[in-house]
Amino acid sequence: MIRSDHGDFTITGGSHKGDDITLDFDANGATGTITLKLAEDKLAGTWSAWDEGGPVEVKKVAAQEEAPKEKS
């Protein structure tokens, strides 16, 4: 799952070669792509979906724990 200011998107595929990473994601009916390269302690690159795109930077963060689900 990709979580961003634009919303949450399901990862549908990807590949890895050397320091290069490509992720495909569901962009509400279209296939979006994120192309990243390892740079120091982060991944940086570009994203595209539909006719939009731009720079992207990915940093590792601690996983958030989900709240326990209430029993019904």
Look up residue 57 and give its two tokens: 């930077």
Q: Domain containing 25: what range? A: 2-56
How far does Cα 34 stand from its chain's mean position? 7
Residue 68 lies in a domain: no
Which tens digit of pLDDT belongs to each residue from 48-69?
Answer: 998 999 999 887 777 777 766 6
Q: Total domain count for the chain?
A: 1
Q: State which H helix or E strand residue 37 sits in.
A: strand 30-39
**pLDDT in the model for residue 40:** 78
CB contact at 8 A, 44 and 31: no
Please, are residues 55 and 46 in contact by the beta-carbon 8 Å criterion?
Answer: yes
* CA nearest neighbour of 2 among 40, 53, 12: 12
- Is 72 contained in some domain? no
Per-residue confidence at 38, pLDDT binned at 50, 70, 90? confident
